[in-house]
């Protein structure tokens, strides 16, 4: 009995001890949970404060040295530029930490933008399609440096004097150095006939774009070519035997967890309720709604900012070698290695090497977007809009994000305003023309020089002097240079980022 009693007593003591310890742990757990909640609330409060600063601190593209920088408010810029809706997602160290929706996905229906609203991605389609192409290279079905004609069947790149020695390869297509023509595509409005791939490649009706041909020796220069990605689209579908949307879903969208994304063109009826409607710069809706883009690889992706960030996070993991849902570490690192100028295999790469910046912008009819990521900083942002004027808002917002998070790029360009004799302006007044952009009218009024062009927006912009021959505008990061001569200038050179255009005087 005593032994039993002792055992019983010990059992009861142990039970009591367990109870006391359990209670203590529970109390500690509650305290820890409260601590975590407090930290989480503090972190969220900090992010909310950041967002407020961004929303109220949009930055212009150009600043004048010595003058205060004038910030802008998101609500004011959307109203000024008649941009109905904007969606934003920001990620930090493999986590989407905030999203924001502004304005309307559909003005007539008063449907607000939400994180689930899908937009046409425009040329952001290209790097996503490039991932799928590199998956085929990784699997041994395609070769980066093989003449694409070796595997194309229905259609082949026409040979000519430019392709005698150097050939069109997948590497060159992905890095915009294949010498192929056709910059971009307008898509097809509702009710218009949609061409086949071969019709697009040959520029045959009902295609509304020029034939895709080689007019520069492949590999010699960088020149943006959406046409090259159409060649790649045909190459991929012929090698897989699958439709492009199905293959892209299986190779990239699904593995990355992009649950609100598709390359289906036109958009299936079941997804239309989630789509942002497109709008012109005037604020008027695009007639018939979203255009159809059979040129899916260069322009056909529907997605959300959160899905793009989700993909960027997956690419971070693959770059580190901790995941290979889409590509191996070696293949992804090759993708993010410079091939020609500032381009890798599908992505534009930043110059700030210590942080490895990769991204792409996008423009379809009624949509303008940007997607920028820092591998080294483990941060990135995707901004999508449903307006032809949305690019300006997206750029201003991106600059505010860059300032808030201390990114080395995307800051306003600083220009020095010079004092010049306004009498020289008469040499520059006139009408100039660029084949790609149409006419540009330079006028003078009250001792100031102005430029107006459809490609620059509806309003004339003042040309501010940096010197007697070089000028800039405040609303876009563009410079305009005239000939140094006593006679009227015959040309006007326009620098837009890394691209330079020469406009010839026509009047």
Q: Which residues pair with 382 in a beta bridge?
A: 89, 371
Query: How does DSSP classify residue 188?
Result: B
Which residue ranges does the chain devote to CATH 3.40.710.10? 77-413
Going by C-alpha positions, the residue among 329, 335, 304 that lies closest to residue 129 is: 335
CA geometry: angle at 190 spanning 78 and 237, to 5°?
A: 100
The sheet with strand 379-385 has its strands ordered as: 111-112, 96-106, 85-92, 379-385, 367-374, 357-364, 348-349
For helices 226-240 and 125-138, give the axis angle rounded to 10 degrees. 40
pLDDT for res 38 = 57
Residue 385: Cβ within 10 Å count: 33
Please check whether residue 473 is in contact with residue 463, taking contact to mean a CB–CB distance below 8 angstroms: yes
Once rounded to an integer, what is the mean pLDDT over residues 98-125? 98
b vs e for 159-176, b when ≥16 Cβ sit within 10 Å of the residue's Cβ? Answer: eeebbeebbbbbbbbbbb
Question: What mean pLDDT, rounded, does the chain reach?
Answer: 91
Q: Is the pLDDT of residue 353 over 90?
A: no
Q: Any idea which fold 77-413 has?
A: Beta-lactamase (3.40.710)
Query: What is the band of 1 on the pLDDT scale with cuts at 50, 70, 90?
Result: very low
Please give the average per-residue pLDDT across 237-248, as a whole number: 98
Q: Are 336 and 358 in contact (CB under 8 A)?
A: yes
- What is the reported pLDDT for 435? 78
Q: Which residues contact 303 (CB under 8 A, 6 or more apart)?
A: 118, 119, 121, 124, 258, 260, 261, 262, 384
pLDDT one-digit tens code per residue, 400-456: 999 999 999 999 999 999 999 999 999 999 999 987 678 999 999 999 999 999 878
Report the alpha-carbon distance of residue 244 to residue 293 in Å, rounded: 12
* pLDDT confidence bin for 274, thresholds 50/70/90: very high
Check whether 296 has a pLDDT greater than 80. Answer: yes
Q: pTM of the full predicted structure?
A: 0.86
Give the pLDDT confidence score for residue 25 in this predicted structure: 36
Residue-wise pLDDT tens digits, 161-171: 999 999 999 99
Q: Which CATH architecture has domain 416-505?
A: Beta Barrel (2.40)
Q: Considering the chain, tell me which residue range(s) the CATH 2.40.128.50 domain(s) occupy.
A: 416-505
Note every long-range contact of 446-452, with CB atoms under 8 Å and residues 24 or more positions apart, other chains counting: 447/422, 448/422, 449/422, 449/425, 451/480
β-pair type (302-303, 348-349): unpaired
For the record, the structure tokens of 40 come out as 């989480």
Per-residue model confidence as pLDDT tens digits over 21-67: 334 434 445 455 555 555 666 667 889 999 999 999 999 999 999 99
CA angle 90, 106, 398 (to 5 degrees): 25
Q: What is the pLDDT of residue 36?
A: 53
**Would you give the distance in Å from CA 98 to the centre of its chain?**
18
């Amino acid at each position: 009995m005593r032994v039993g009693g002792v055992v019983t007593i010990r059992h009861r003591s142990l039970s009591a001890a367990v109870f006391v310890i359990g209670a203590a742990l529970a109390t500690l757990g509650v305290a820890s949970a409260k601590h975590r909640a407090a930290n989480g609330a503090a972190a969220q409060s900090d992010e909310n404060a950041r967002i407020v600063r961004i929303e109220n601190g949009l930055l212009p593209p150009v600043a004048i040295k010595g003058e205060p920088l004038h910030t802008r408010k998101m609500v004011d810029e959307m109203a000024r530029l008649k941009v109905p809706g904007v969606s934003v997602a920001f990620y930090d160290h493999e986590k989407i930490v905030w999203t924001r929706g502004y304005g309307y996905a559909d003005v007539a229906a008063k449907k607000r933008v939400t994180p689930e609203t899908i937009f046409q991605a425009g040329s952001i389609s290209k790097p996503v399609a490039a991932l799928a192409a590199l998956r085929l290279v990784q699997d041994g079905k395609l070769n980066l440096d093989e003449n694409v004609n070796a595997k194309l069947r229905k259609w082949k790149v026409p040979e000519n004097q430019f392709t005698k020695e150097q050939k069109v390869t997948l590497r060159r297509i992905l890095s915009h150095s294949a010498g192929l023509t056709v910059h971009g595509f307008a898509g097809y409005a509702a009710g218009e006939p949609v061409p086949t791939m071969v019709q697009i490649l040959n520029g045959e009706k009902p295609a509304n774009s020029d034939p895709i041909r080689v007019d520069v020796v492949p590999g010699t220069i960088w020149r943006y070519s959406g046409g090259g990605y159409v060649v790649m689209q045909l190459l991929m579908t012929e090698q897989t035997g699958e439709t492009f949307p199905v293959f892209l879903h299986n190779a990239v969208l699904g593995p990355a967890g992009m649950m609100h994304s598709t390359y289906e063109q036109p958009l299936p009826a079941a997804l239309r309720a989630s789509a942002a409607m497109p709008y012109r710069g005037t604020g008027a809706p695009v007639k018939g709604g979203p255009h159809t883009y059979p040129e899916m690889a260069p322009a056909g992706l529907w997605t959300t900012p959160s899905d793009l960030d989700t993909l960027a996070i997956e690419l971070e993991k693959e770059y580190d070698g901790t995941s290979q849902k889409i590509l191996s570490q070696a293949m992804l690192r090759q993708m993010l290695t410079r091939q020609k100028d500032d381009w890798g295999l599908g992505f534009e790469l930043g110059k700030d090497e210590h942080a490895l910046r990769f991204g792409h912008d996008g423009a379809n009819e009624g949509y303008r977007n940007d997607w920028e990521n820092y591998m080294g900083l483990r941060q990135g942002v995707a901004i999508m809009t449903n307006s032809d004027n949305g690019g300006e808002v997206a750029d201003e917002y991106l600059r505010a994000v860059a300032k808030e998070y201390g990114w080395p790029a995307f800051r306003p360009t600083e220009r020095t305003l010079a004092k010049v004799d306004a009498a020289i302006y008469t040499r520059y007044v006139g009408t100039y023309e660029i084949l790609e952009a149409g006419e540009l009218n330079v006028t003078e009024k009250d001792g100031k020089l102005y430029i107006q062009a459809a490609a620059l927006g509806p309003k004339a912009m003042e040309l501010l002097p940096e010197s007697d021959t070089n000028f800039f505008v405040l609303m876009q990061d563009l410079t305009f240079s005239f000939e140094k001569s006593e006679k009227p200038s015959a040309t006007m050179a326009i620098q837009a980022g890394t691209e330079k255009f020469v406009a010839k005087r026509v009047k």
